[in-house]
Amino acid sequence: MATIDFEFRNKLMGEDIGSTLAYCYQCATCSGACPVAQVTNGRYNPRRLILDSLLGLKEKIFGKENSFNIWGCTICDTCDEICPQKVELTEIFTLLKNESIARGEGPEYFYSQASTIFETGKAIPMQSAIERRREQFGLPEIMPPNVEEVQTILKAAKLDEKLPEKEE
Q: Long-range CB contacts (< 8 A, 24+ apart) of 1-6?
A: 2/52, 2/57, 2/58, 2/59, 2/60, 3/57, 3/58, 3/59, 4/55, 4/56, 4/57, 5/56, 5/57, 5/58, 5/59, 6/56
- Between 85 and 116, name the residue whose CB sits nearer to ligand SF4: 85
Residues of the shown chain interacting with ligand SF4 in the complex, contacts defined by CB under 6 A: 24-30, 34, 36, 46-47, 50, 73-79, 83-85, 87, 89-90
Residue 30's nearest CA partner among 83, 93, 95 is 83
CB of 86 to ligand SF4, least distance (A): 8
- Between 67 and 120, name the residue whose CB sits nearer to ligand SF4: 67
- Between 73 and 117, name the residue whose CB sits nearer to ligand SF4: 73
CB of 42 to ligand SF4, least distance (A): 12
- Between 25 and 137, name the residue whose CB sits nearer to ligand SF4: 25
CB of 22 to ligand SF4, least distance (A): 10
Confirm if 33 and 90 have CB atoms less than 8 A apart.
no
- Between 87 and 96, name the residue whose CB sits nearer to ligand SF4: 87
Give DSSP secondary structure letters for 5-35.
-HHHHHHHHHHSGGGGGGG-----HHHHH-H
CB of 120 to ligand SF4, least distance (A): 27
What is the number of other CB atoms lying within 10 angstroms of the CB of residue 113?
A: 13
Give the C-alpha separation, 77 to 89, whole Å: 8
CB of 74 to ligand SF4, least distance (A): 4
